[in-house]
Amino acid sequence: MTTPTPSEIYSPGLEGVIAGETEISTITGGLRYRGYPVVELCERSTFDEVAYLLLHGDLPTSAQLTSFNQRLAAAQKLPPVLSEVLTKLPRDAVPMDVLRTGVSILAHYDPDLNDSSKPANLQKAERLLAQIPLIIAEYYRATKGQAPVAPKPELSFAGNMLYMLNGKQPSKEDAKAFDVSLILYAEHEFNASTFTARVVCSTESDLHASITAAIGALKGRLHGGANEKVMDLLLASGGPDKAEKWIRDALARKEKIMGFGHRVYKTGDVRARVLKEYAKQAAQRAGTTQWEVAAEIIEKVLETEKNLFPNLDWPAGRLYHAMGLEVPLYTPFFVASRITGWSAHVIEQLEHNRIIRPRSRYTGPDEKPVKPIGQR
C-alpha cells in the first residue's frame, strides 16, 4: 500500500483539521467571543448584549442595546400561516423538527431572503433571533391546548422565553440562570452545526437555508441533543445511593455517557464549570438536590476511571429540569441561543467566500470493465 501524500492524509471526523479562519470565537486559552472571555460575559453582561456582540462585532452601548431590543420587539411576530401550522402539527412531533420546519416556512415571508449582503443578513438574523422563541413557545403551548402568550417588551430575551412558555413572569434567579445558559450556548467555533451552516452558505445559498441545515445537525444526540439525555441518565442512576454502582456498571457495559467528554476540551469545559453553580442553586430552590449529589458522584467516577469531564450539556440538563422545563424543549433552547453564532458565521463566510469542497480518500475496488448485461 502506498503512503498517502500530505494532501491525502485522512483525519476521521476532521479532528485537528483547520478548516477555516474566524474572528468570532476561539477556544484557545479559554473560550472567548470576539476577544471577551465567556466567564466575564456571564458575570458582567446579558444574553441580549452577547447576541449584539456576536452579530455586530462588539458589545453594545446603552443606546445601541436599546435600539437592538426595539428591533427585536418589532420582529416578535410570526406569519399567521405559520402560527396555524403550529396548531395543526402532531402533538408528539419532535420540537427540533418543528423548529426546522418553522424556520423553513419563515424563509417564504422574509423580504430579504435572496439578498445576501451583510446588512440584509444582519436584518434576517435579528428577525430569526426574535422569531425562533415564538415558534418554540407557540408549538409548546399548542401541544397543551393553550393559546400563545404574547411577549412583554420590558422583559429580557431570557425572561421573555420563559414567560411565553408558561404565562408567568420568571423569578429573578431563574431568569438569570437561564440567561447565563443562553450566553454559554451562543457560540463555539467550528462545531458540527456551525460548520454545516458555513458549508451551506458557501454554495451561495441563503441564510434561512443555512440555519435550517444547522438545526438538523444540532438535533443529533452527539451534538445538541445530548442535553436532553442528561436527566434520563440521572433518573436511571436511581439517585445518590445507587449512582456509583450504576455508573460503574454502565462503564463495564461500555455505554456512552451523555454529557461527558468533548472533541476539543480534554481537561474540562469551562462552560460546564460556570453553569454547574447555577444548576446547584436552581436545585436548592426546587428541592431537587438529590440529583446534584448523584451528578457529583458520577462526575468523580468518570474523572477517576476514564479521565472524562463534564461538558456544557451536563449542568444544562439539570438546570432546566430544576426549573421545571420539559426535556423536549432543551435542544430548542440551544437553537434560540446559537442562532446568533450561526448567523455570525454565515455572514463571516460570505465576506471571503470560497465554496467548501473537501476531497475523500477512495477505498473502493480498482477499475473494472463494464460487461454487457448478458455476461454479468
Annotated catalytic sites, by residue?
223, 262, 313
Cα–Cα distance, 149 to 134 (Å, whole number): 9
All three cell numbers of 155, joined, read 422583559
Whether the Cβ atoms of residue 157 and residue 72 lie closer than 8 Å to each other: yes
Distances (CA, A) of 323 to 56, 94, 233, 299, 367: 31, 21, 18, 22, 61
Q: Is 296 exposed, middle or buried (0-12, 13-18, 19+ CB in 10 A)?
A: middle
Strand partners, 234: none
SS3 sequence, 201-219? HHCCCCHHHHHHHHHHHHH
Q: Is 153 helix (H, G, I), strand (E, B) or coil?
A: coil
Amino acid at 183: I
Amino acid at 80: P
Cα–Cα distance, 364 to 140 (Å, whole number): 47
All three cell numbers of 210, joined, read 443555512
Cα–Cα distance, 196 to 212 (Å, whole number): 10
All three cell numbers of 266, joined, read 480534554
Q: Is 36 helix (H, G, I), strand (E, B) or coil?
A: strand
All three cell numbers of 172, joined, read 429573578
